[in-house]
Each structure stands twice: as structure tokens, then as C-alpha cells.
Amino acid sequence: MPPQSTPNSRPLHGGRAEVLLDYGHESGRHPDELHLGSMTVHNPHRNAIDRVVITYLVALVIGTGLLMTPAATTAPGGISLLSSLFTSTSAISVTGLEVLSAGSDFTFFGQAVILGLIQAGGLGILLLTTLLAMLVAGKVGLRLRESVAAEAKSSHIGGIRPMVLRIIGLTVATELAITSALFLRFWLHYDQPAGAALWDAAFHAVSAFNNAGFGLNSDSLISYATDPFVWSPIAAGIILGGLGYPVLIELFRHYRTPLRWSMTTRAVIVVTPVLLIGGAAFIAAVEWNNPGTLGHLDWWGKLQTAAFQSTTARTAGFSSVDISQLHSATWFSMDILMFIGGGPAGTAGGVKITTVMVLLAMTWAEVTGGTRANLLGRRVAGSAHRQAVTVIVLALSLVALSTTLLMLEAPDLGLDRILFEVISAFANVGLTTGITSGLPGLSQVVLIAAMILGRLGPVTVASALALRARTIRYELPVERPLIG
């Protein structure tokens, strides 16, 4: 039997002491309680995920109700419950799939509701994933810190409040910078009225940083595909949001000392350019002479469009080409990009770069006969192996089930289009081959479920696995099955 853990303390900055928590399940102790010396406080880990899910669903219901009001849409009498629910889900999960056009089917009020849901969803995911990352790293939750501070007659609450303020500040500052750049371009170059240019710029800036993919133009960003003064700020917002808050903070603090970067930061920084450049090269090569996509552009326009489409395919969902006209091989390559997604604790969707890299490290260790999985100069913790495999298996299962259900209801659409739509929904990307708005009601419900589970699923599953406290008091006999 493994030894029981006991509380300890070690000095931190400023003379304070950080209490190391006892998660042992000794006889008589409740599994939802933590023990700090003589003080017993409630363990917030078990309730954190439940609260997040409940808050998410409450916001979803409120957004659905607001979008159903006649004031929100241009359609007389409002829109149906299913259309409203689909749009609200797509916005709060920062996906971008549409059954109605945000620019033409919704009024200014409706667009404001969508923008509010995007901001709440993106900011909420940033806060949630960062807080859970702190818990996984061994930090304590806000409620626990408040309890400890109250017991010690202190008003200090660790580093959570500054962290929250930094996340909000980073979000607002980035969105303001993108808004300013786009506003000047829309106003001075495209001669939009100042008010319309400002709203257009702000909407796209918030949608970009939160990796939502919603736009106010009927063709998404195809009209601006060769205008670097438009797509560059949007691409920058997509990439920054997709890197993840922990990575951004670590880069800011230790940009001169890469050797101090964590495994997460190293993986995200190394793999992100590979995916961006590799995706752009593949799209350009396959679509170079396709008259429906890149064929009508000059060489510089083709490179710009391919680069932006590769950027948005991983996380955001803006379109720089007509997705329905892409080659099926391009769809499949974008399936891979969408499924991987961006960095952890960011606004990007997918199973995350780190999850895939851990799985590849495990595979490489097996192929080369290694006893440990190593990644970028560090050894991967054994617990991360199980978490990565679990997330990947559950994600693939959800994609397979959703694809099967859509094929049963709409068999004429073809596997490649349906698979693209399902992965786009699960990975919270929002790209579409043009079939979403015409799908039967049940299929749209399946996509709604995929968007919700894709947004909450990977982070909650990984966090639940990392935060659960369980002492195994016995082991079964070991036997090695035949593999392969």
C-alpha cells in the first residue's frame, strides 16, 4: 500500500507559506474534504466542473431566449427555437457554425447578443482552463484559499485575482488593438461610414481573438482574402487566442530564456508554426489551379489566401475561399488541423497540441524501445499518458458517433462533407462545406451536442482525471494481452 500523504509547508515569496494538501482517504475522512493540519475545508475540485457546466448551460438558455425575440432578427415574429439554440450554442462555444447569417438575418441587437455570447464564452473558457490548470499543477481553488485566508485572519487570496485581471486585460487589449487596425482599414480604404466600420471592426476583432469565426459578411472574409491589412490582424488575434494564456504569460516573462519554458510552452511554440506552414503549403499545392478556390488569383494572392485559410482552419472558422469548392483531400487535411486545434487554456478548440504531442511521444517511445516517453527535453509524467489517451479516444468516439448519426439521416451528402461538418462542430472551428443550414432538425441537434461536448468535454475530462483523488488499495494480477 502506498504511503499516506501528510500536510507540509514550504516558504514562498514574502514570507508566506504554501500549504501542501492532504488528499488521503484515511478511514473516516470524506473524499470531498481537504485537511490542513487541524482545519478541515471543503474540496472545491469535485464541484468546480459541475458549476462550470451549469453556468455554461444557463448562459446558453439566456442567449437562446434573447435570440428568439422579434427584436433580435429580421424575420417577422422571430426565429425558431432550434435555429436560436443552434446560433446561441455556436456563439457561446466560440464555434462559428451558422444556420442563419449573423450579418443579414439578425438585427443590431441580435448581433450584439451573439457578440456578447462569443465574449462570455471565450473569456469564460480562458478563465476556466487557466484555473483548472492551476489546480492540476497543485494549486488550490479560490474557495479553499478564501477559507484558509479567513482562518488565518488574512485578506490575501493568493495569485488568483491578479491572474483573472491579467486575463481580462490581455483579452481587452488584444481586441482593442485588432479593432483599431480594422477600423482604420474599413473606414479609410473601403469608405464605410465610421459607425459601421467601428462595429464591423469590433465584431471581427472579438470573434477573431476568441476563435469564434462569426462574421458580418455573407462570404465571411473571402472579399478580404488578399488584403493583408484585414486578414493579418485577424490572423494575429486567432493565433494569440489559440496559443493559450499560460503560454503567452510564460513567453512574456521568459522570452529571453527559452530553457526555462515549460513542456507545454515548448510544445505549443514548436508545433504551431509547423501546423500553420504545413497546412498552408498543402492547401496551396492542392488548390493552386482550382478555379473555384485559388485558381483565379495571382501567385501572391494564392499564398496569402492559403496562409490565412490554414490559420483559421485550426481554430477560428473564417473562410478565405469557398469551402464547398475545395478538393476532398483539402477537406481531409483541414479535418486533421481542426481536430488538433490550438494550445491548452486558450480560446482554441480541438483536442489540443499538447495532447497530440504526448500521444506521439508515447508512440515514439514504443517504436524505439524506450522505457519512458520524452518530449522536447523533458520526461512526460505517467499520468499525462492516460489523460492524453482518454481524451483522444473519447474525442474520436464522439466524432464517429456523430458522423454515423448524420449519415443515417442524410446519406446523400457523402462521408467527406459530413465528417468535415462534424469535426468542425466538435473542434469548435465553424468552417462548413455549405450543408449545415440545410441539415434535418435531428442532425442539427447532433451538431449542437457536438459543439457543447467539444467545448467542455476535453478540458473537463482531462481536469477530472488529473484532479481526482483515489487511493487504490488492491491490484489485480498482471497479464499482457497480444497487441496487433
Render 212-258 in DSSP notation, one character per residue.
----SSTTTTGGGTT-HHHHHHHHHHHHHHHH-HHHHHHHHHHTT-G
Calculate what percentage of the chain has a pLDDT beyond 70.
79
Number of domains in the chain: 1
In a domain, 6, yes or no: no
* Helix (H), strand (E) at residue 18: strand 17-20
Residue 260's pLDDT band, with cuts at 50, 70 and 90, is: confident
Judge whether 3 lies within some domain: no
Q: For residue 36, is it within any domain?
A: no
Beta bridge partner(s), residue 378: 375
Residue 397 reports pLDDT greater than 70: yes
* Structural domain span for residue 352: 48-467
Task: Give the type of residue at 241.
Answer: G
Nearest to 277 by CA among 240, 239, 220: 239
pLDDT tier at 54, thresholds 50, 70, 90: confident
* Residue 405 scores a pLDDT above 90: yes
- Kindly state whether residue 475 falls inside one of the protein's structural domains: no
The answer to whether position 18 is within a domain reads no
The residue behind cell 433580435 is 72
- 162 within domain boundaries: yes
Residue 128: name the closest of 468, 455, 466, 474 by CA: 455
Confidence of residue 348 (pLDDT cuts 50, 70, 90): confident
Q: How far is CA 366 from CA 356, 359, 370, 390, 479, in A?
A: 15, 11, 6, 18, 18
pTM over 0.85, yes/no: no
pLDDT for 75-111, tens place per residue? 888 899 999 999 999 999 889 999 999 999 999 999 9
Mean pLDDT of 168-178: 92
140 or 170, greater pLDDT: 170
Does 478 fall in a domain?
no
Selection from 251-255, 334-338, 454-458 with the highest mean pLDDT? 334-338
Task: Tell me the pLDDT band of 159, cut-offs 50, 70 and 90.
Answer: low
In a domain, 27, yes or no: no
